[in-house]
Structure 1
Amino acid sequence: MEPTDQGREVPARYEPGEGCVTTVVRLPVRIVVLVLVVPVRLVWDALAAAGRAVDRTVLRPLGRALAWLWRTLVVIPVAWAWRTLVVIPLAWTWRTLIVAPLAGLWRYVLAPAGRGIAAAVAWLVRYLVVVPVQWLYTYVLTPVGHGIAWVVRGIATVLVTLVRWIVVVPVVALWRYVLAPVGRALAAVVTVVVREVGAAFGLCWRLAGVISRAVGRFLGTLLRWIFVEPLRWAYRSVLTPLGHGIRDGIWRPVRQALRSARETVRQTRREIRRALFGAPREPERAVAEAPRREPGARETRTLGSSTTALTKD
């Protein structure tokens, strides 16, 4: 039988809260931290306020004055001197002494000379290269090409005629009157031989199947009465009752005892944890959904109470 909770006392459920160790440690730690942090925070707030005042009343006006002086005394004079003494003279020199002479040289010397040279080169190429090449192609290469093509066509015609009467016609006659009849006769003979061999093979295969099935049934019956039936009788008559006895008399009581011991150890560990650290807290959702309110007049905050700001989560 499976173990049940009947007849066994279950400990009462703990209310959610905190253990004694947590409450004892939390109050001194928070008092010490409060004493150390408050002076540091006061000094930090004083320094931050002084820094903001100095920045607002001294540093910002001083920075604006220095920036105005830098722009008036340095930036504007340097920019005027650079433009007057460097940029304007360099621009005038570039336009007058470099750009204008180069433009005149290109317009009145280089461009006319280039056009004349291009015209001369074009005339020389036309009359020294293009005209001779056209005359050579028209009056020499074209007639020679026509003659070569006529000769090649005649030779190709002679070769095709010779190949036809020397090779093609004899091969066609040999195939039509010799090879084709001999091939049909050989095909008929091979067909008859293959058909007879296939029929003999099919008959022998069926007879071998009948013999094989008979031998297989004999061997199966022999193995059944020699091995299967004795093993089946031993399993039903010996092993099955023995297994049921082991399961009901040994394994099931041992398993129930182990389960009871494990449950007892788990409950003892839970009780010790609750006594030292308190019961587990409720889920955060439940805490968040709970209405928040200030303590009433009777729940006054004191250092001796566990509901002060130092010990409250």
Structure 2
Amino acid sequence: MENRPSPQPSEGCLTVVVRVPVRIVVFVLVVPVRMVWDLLVAGAKVLRRRVFTPLWRVLVVIPSGWSYRVVLTPAGHAIAWLGRVVGAGLGAVGRGLAAAGAWGVRMLLVAPSVWVYRVVLAPAGRAVGWVLSGVWLGLAWVGRGVGRGLVRAGRGIGAGLARVGKGVGVGLVWGLRALFVWPWSALWRRVLAPVLRYGLVVPAAWLYRYVLIPVGHGTARLVTLAGAGLAALGVLLLVVPARWLYRAVLTPLGRGALVVVREIGVAIGFAWRAAGFVSRAVGRGLAWLVRNFVGLPVRWVYATLLTPVGHWVRDAVLRPARRALREAGRAARQALVSARETVRTARRDAWRALVGGPARELPEHRARTLGSTTTASGAVPAPEISLSKAEG
């Protein structure tokens, strides 16, 4: 047999009447909210990718990594090494102090105590033990003799006293019974017991059996009948109207409110999904408009106008200016070299005029030249000294 779908329960007229207006109203209200929500979500994503993530990396991640690698790791290694060194030193000092303390305790306390115990206390204790043992043996012998005599005398005296006490006890028992037990027993048995039985117990039992029990049963039946009547009256006045109100008024109202709330929830979900489709369609349309009416013209302007103009500016203006600046710099360096040679020649002539004789030339250092930025390998820069110091 084929699997047939289970029949869906039929929807009431209230559901059909409420559904269409509610969906229209909710759709009109939800579409702007969904579009604003999509705009906010897109803006938040752009901010997160373009602003917050780079700021987080620049302000937090990179400084944290740099501080961890450059500051915290060396500081931690240094602290760990210092801790190991200090711990090793403290351990060595502690072991030394412990060894010294143990040696001092052993030499100052243990050894003298052992010597005193072996030489003084042990012999003295043995002597005192011998003396006390002798004294105890003597006292024990004397005590055994005295105890045997006392036991024999006590046995005779105890036998006589036991016979006398037995006779006196029997007489006292009979006397106490005659004075305190027999009169009161006869009074209870002959007087008090009959009076209490026939004067109190028998009338109370008759009153309970023939009066109180029938009255109690009647009262209980009366209370039962009154409770049943009050319960019936309460059901008639409260339960029946409440049940009618629940069945005729509250149940239809609750079902209608439940249908309205359910339809509003379903309409909000449907409108939110439909608004999502509308929002995506509007977004695609705006993206198409921006791409065709802004992006393509801008690309055309950039490719057709700005790129040739930029190439012309680069080839006709920037490169000649750069070449001219380079030639001017080279000419300036040549002028500086010529000026340096002129100053050197003037200084030699002035020295020859003041001192006389040929002036010695300062050795030229190959480490650095005025017109070159390279430095010879293995050359040491010449010291800055005057000609007079070099001659002297």
TM-score by length of 1: 0.44
**TM-score scaled by structure 2?**
0.37
Higher helix share: 2
Structure number with larger C-alpha Rg: 2
The structure, 1 or 2, with the larger RCO (C-alpha pairs under 8 Å, 6+ apart) is 1
